[in-house]
């Protein structure tokens, strides 16, 4: 490995990975993945952040702060690069919907102004889209901000012509198909422009999210109207991919090739397989863009595919547990070998729980139960859930693994309705 003096020296020259045809399954196609997560800050956006900023270094050294509409990767790269030259970034977005992206931006010190989501009845006299807000901010304090404007800046495209496109040309020569996600459209447009020098009838496909869906980092076709760089005529096709398919594609990339790309990589892979499968026969070469890594998107994936995170604990069949009424339990609360376990959420527990109860949320208790009885032998455990349903099932499973477990009949609600005391946590 070479030695570098400056992190910007590590931007670009990313590797291509040949995807095993036996695994991608499209006959006669050599499919390559351009692994943009090898860029130093982790995404294809590192290229344009540097490409757009380099001509303006003097301005930010003079104290100007960058302002940009970005949902994540561009903001991250711009802030880091500006920081190296004594400045920083204010990012505006109503598209920063992924918690990790937001947290990383905060962690590295970028300013983040989150715009409200679409209003049901927008007030036409108060436009609050990102572009209008940037104009307002710049007008409020003239000279304070520098807006590189990734959605309209031709340096965005030119950077990809000169780097991404040239790299693919140098490594592969003629390429027949290019598949990449459309955000600003800079990477696909720039790379396609360079590749057309070798193959004029290159088949470029812009990958977008389906109209009523959301894939972080790319837009729907209808949203491309806001993108000044977008030129519809430069693409042979626009492929709309659903987020569920993009996630499946992403998982295929991990499983079949060890490529840990993000959801846009999955979308590009899905679009490529679909398109190439119905193209004319004959040996062809195709490239897909792997824009960034999947670790960014854990919370996005958790919402859409909770099954991937093992949160769906299979419900065991067990006889229902024995019950104890609120009145009987109230009599026995002082017994030293009796433990009341409140299985509700922490908020509810803090607001009010049975005297002396500990809090062990049902999903956590389920994980413990799966390993056997987590409570000491000889202890009587009373499970208190909202209305008694969950506790009865869990007490049954616990009893089967040797615990002495009871369920509070009617749950905490019945306890409260019986006029019995609930205590608050400090």
Partner 1 sequence: MSLGPTLHPRCHPLVERLLAQDSGVIRWAAQGSVNVLLPQVFAENLERLREVLRKVDHRIFFAHKANRAPVFVTAAERAGIGVDVASEAELRTALQAGINHGRLEGSGPKSGEFVRTLVDSDIVLNVDSVWELVRAAQRARSLRRPARVLLRCSSSTPGRTSRFGMDEEAYRQAIGLVLADPDHLDLLGLSFHLDSVDLGERLGCLARVLTRFEDLHRLGLSPRVLNAGGGLPQVFLREPGDFDTYTNALRAGLIGAGPALTWNGTGLGYQVRDGVVQGVPVVQKFANRVTAAEELERTLTAPLPGQGGRSLARVLEDTMLQLWLEPGKALLDGAGVTVAGVQSVSVAGPHRLVVLNLGRDRLSPADQEFFVDPVLIGAHASGVVAEGVFLAGNLCLERDMITHRKVFLPRAPEPGDVLAFVNTAAYQMDLSAAPALGHPLLPKLEVVFSGQGFTATPEGADHGRV
Q: Which residues bind partner 1 (CB under 8 A)?
A: 94, 97, 113-125, 127-129, 131-133, 151-152, 211-212, 220-222, 225-228, 302-303, 311, 344-348, 350-352, 361, 363, 386-387, 412-413, 416, 424
Q: How far is the CB of 52 from partner 1 (least distance, A)?
A: 17
Q: How far is the CB of 1 from partner 1 (least distance, A)?
A: 42
Q: How far is the CB of 145 from partner 1 (least distance, A)?
A: 17
> 44-76 as b/e, with b when 16 or more CB fall inside 10 Å?
bbbbbbbbbbeebeeebeeebebbbbbbbbbbb
Contact predicate 47/12, CB 8 Å: yes
Contact predicate 206/188, CB 8 Å: yes
- If the CB atoms of residues 174 and 311 are measured against partner 1, the closer one turns out to be 311
Q: How far is the CB of 178 from partner 1 (least distance, A)?
A: 24
Q: How far is the CB of 384 from partner 1 (least distance, A)?
A: 11
- With tokens 């905490």, the residue in question is 412
Q: How far is the CB of 132 from partner 1 (least distance, A)?
A: 7
Contact predicate 236/204, CB 8 Å: yes
DSSP secondary-structure letter at 88? -
- If the CB atoms of residues 188 and 373 are measured against partner 1, the closer one turns out to be 188
Contact predicate 96/300, CB 8 Å: no
Structure tokens at 136: 């307002």
- If the CB atoms of residues 186 and 261 are measured against partner 1, the closer one turns out to be 186
- If the CB atoms of residues 201 and 307 are measured against partner 1, the closer one turns out to be 307
- If the CB atoms of residues 115 and 320 are measured against partner 1, the closer one turns out to be 115
Q: How far is the CB of 406 from partner 1 (least distance, A)?
A: 20
- If the CB atoms of residues 227 and 420 are measured against partner 1, the closer one turns out to be 227
Q: How far is the CB of 336 from partner 1 (least distance, A)?
A: 28
CA 306 to centroid of chain Cα atoms = 13
Rounded to 5 degrees, what angle do the CA atoms 262, 266, 270 make?
170
Angstrom distance (rounded) from CA 266 to CA 254:
10
Contact predicate 139/159, CB 8 Å: no
H or E element that contains 75: helix 73-84
- If the CB atoms of residues 127 and 372 are measured against partner 1, the closer one turns out to be 127
H or E element that contains 338: strand 338-342
Angstrom distance (rounded) from CA 303 to CA 423:
34
Q: How far is the CB of 312 from partner 1 (least distance, A)?
A: 12
Sheet of strand 16-19, all strands in order from the earlier edge strand to the far edge: 16-19, 29-35, 284-290, 177-181, 203-209, 237-241
Angstrom distance (rounded) from CA 41 to CA 47:
10
- If the CB atoms of residues 152 and 401 are measured against partner 1, the closer one turns out to be 152
- If the CB atoms of residues 51 and 411 are measured against partner 1, the closer one turns out to be 411
């Amino acid at each position: 490995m070479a030695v570098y003096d400056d992190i910007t020296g590590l931007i670009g020259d990313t590797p291509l990975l040949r995807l095993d045809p036996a695994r991608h399954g499209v006959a006669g196609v050599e499919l390559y993945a351009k692994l943009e997560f090898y860029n130093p800050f982790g995404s294809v956006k590192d290229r344009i952040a540097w490409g757009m900023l380099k001509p303006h270094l003097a301005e930010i050294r003079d104290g100007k702060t960058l302002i940009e509409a970005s949902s994540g990767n561009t903001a991250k790269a711009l802030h880091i690069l500006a920081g190296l030259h004594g400045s920083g970034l204010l990012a505006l977005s109503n598209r920063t919907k992924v918690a990790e992206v937001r947290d990383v931006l905060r962690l590295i010190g970028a300013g983040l102004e989150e715009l409200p989501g679409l209003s049901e009845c927008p007030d036409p006299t108060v436009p609050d889209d990102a572009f209008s807000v940037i104009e307002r901010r710049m007008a409020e304090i003239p000279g304070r901000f520098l807006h590189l404007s990734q959605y309209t800046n031709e340096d965005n495209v030119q950077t990809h012509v000169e780097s991404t496109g040239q790299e693919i040309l140098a490594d592969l020569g003629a390429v027949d198909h290019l598949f990449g996600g459309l955000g600003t459209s800079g990477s696909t447009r720039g790379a396609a422009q360079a590749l057309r020098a070798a193959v004029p009838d290159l088949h470029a496909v812009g990958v977008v999210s389906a109209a009523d869906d959301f894939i972080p980092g790319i837009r729907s076709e209808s949203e491309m109207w806001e993108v000044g760089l977008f030129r519809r005529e430069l693409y042979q096709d626009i492929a709309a991919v659903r987020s569920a398919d993009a996630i499946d594609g992403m998982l295929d990339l991990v499983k079949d090739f060890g490529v840990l790309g993000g959801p846009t990589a999955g979308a590009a892979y899905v679009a490529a397989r679909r398109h190439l499968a119905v193209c004319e026969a004959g040996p062809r070469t195709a490239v897909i863009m792997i824009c960034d890594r999947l670790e960014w998107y854990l919370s996005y994936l958790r919402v859409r595919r909770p099954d991937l995170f093992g949160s769906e604990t299979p419900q065991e069949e067990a006889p229902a547990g024995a019950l104890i009424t609120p009145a009987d339990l109230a009599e026995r609360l002082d017994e030293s070998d009796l433990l009341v376990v409140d299985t509700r959420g922490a908020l509810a527990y803090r607001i009010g729980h049975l005297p002396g109860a500990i809090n062990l949320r049902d999903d956590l208790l389920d994980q413990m139960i799966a390993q056997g009885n987590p409570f000491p032998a000889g202890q009587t455990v009373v499970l208190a859930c909202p209305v008694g349903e969950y506790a009865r099932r869990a007490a049954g499973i616990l009893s089967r693994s040797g615990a002495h477990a009871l369920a509070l009949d009617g749950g905490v609600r019945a306890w409260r309705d019986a006029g019995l005391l609930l205590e608050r946590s400090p």
